[in-house]
Structure 1
């Protein structure tokens, strides 16, 4: 017998709501003003919203020199982000298919085998984000988890700009998105978040 994720979540939420009601009743007896039971239970995402949907991670962390981003570097494309990616300066794991991007940024690589210049995209370009969310729509991916790191650190302005671009594309393509924080090495996270 298999159990659905929705049943597990509903059961957990019911337990939380019941515990909130018990705690609320105990606190109401001690306090002069009774607490609302509805305020004690967290709201669940309703079926059809993000529960039971296909979600993907979205990093949006590639930048290129001259793309207008707050970083204005070859961020995540090369070891020395001040210089374009090349045979000796790269961190590229696989070359992206660039056919559907209207804007690209030339690298220091030699031309591709088809004779085209070796160019890459920037996540900061709205058309790049639009292309990704169009692909999500075409492939029935419902939700994107936009990854963020420490927003008060050096990546903050780029992450803020990407959140605006992702929201615009998600809404235009009928997709949902939410922010997912990676708090690795964020020492002051508790006070800064």
Structure 2
């Protein structure tokens, strides 16, 4: 492969790390030091850490029939995933600029207004990931976070493939868990329950980041 996530990110972790306002060298909103007492400077982030890095969310869930992916269907682009996207079988909100992709898959749409065929990319293809990570590198993005929802749902096998491609932090898989600290009826969890989740992932050898509300 020409470019991989590791090549793009260099010393920073990739795959499942994400920016979330959780990590930092100092605590936002902390009380100021009393007058007359020196305030300790925040510790510098070690090389390769996720602190201070620019991270982007990465879905990696677009599949095409015939792309060799575990699901082998048109994922996230159609009502009927067994048929190619078309005017009558469509959930596409925006059309990707396909000029820099090296592999594409034909749909059942008519040609575009520029007379080019209506083709799409597959996230399963390594060349697609290479293109995306090259764009990230060219635009100063340091890490990419693989966003994963229901691991046992239809997209689970696609996400498993991407999870195996992640880079790591201190040789540990990086996991960012979204949803800590929300106080509403749908998430009636107390801090000890969140701590159980964190400790379970740490026991599996993971580097854990918590995703919390902005407030």
Q: Is the contact between residue 73 and residue 82 of structure 2 (CA under 8 Å) also seen in structure 1?
A: yes
Q: Is the contact between residue 79 and residue 89 of structure 2 (CA under 8 Å) also seen in structure 1?
A: yes
Partner of 1:109: 109
CA deviations over 1:39-60 (Å, ceiling 9, x no partner): xxxxx97365211111100010
Aligned positions of 1:26-45 closer than 5 A: none
Give the distance between the partners of 1:107 and 1:179, measured in 2 at CA.
35
CA deviations over 1:28-86 (Å, ceiling 9, x no partner): xxxxxxxxxxxxxxxx9736521111110001000000000011110001111111111
Q: 5+ unaligned residues in a row in structure 2: which ranges?
A: 1-22, 31-43, 180-195, 202-215
Partner of 2:27: 8
Q: Is the contact between residue 63 and residue 72 of structure 1 (CA under 8 Å) also seen in structure 2?
A: yes
1:6 partner SS = coil
Q: Which has the higher helix share?
A: 1
Deviates more, 1:143-152 or 1:51-60: 143-152
RMSD: 3.1
Partner of 2:120: 120
Q: Normalising by the residue count of structure 1, what TM-score does the alignment of the two structures yield?
A: 0.64
Partner of 2:93: 93
Q: CA deviation at 1:120?
A: 0.2
Q: CA deviation at 1:7?
A: 1.3
Larger Rg: 1
Change (3 A) 1:117 1:136: same
Whether 1:157 aligns to 2:170 is no
Partner of 2:70: 70
Q: 5+ unaligned residues in a row in structure 1: which ranges?
A: 12-43, 172-176, 184-189
Aligned positions of 1:11-22 closer than 5 A: none
Partner of 2:53: 53
CA deviations over 1:120-172 (Å, ceiling 9, x no partner): 0000000001111111100000111111123344433211112234x3xx69x
Whether 1:145 aligns to 2:164 is no
Q: Is the contact between residue 25 and residue 45 of structure 2 (CA under 8 Å) also seen in structure 1?
A: no
Structure 1 stretches of at least 4 aligned residues deviating more than 3 Å after TM superposition:
44-48, 177-183, 190-193
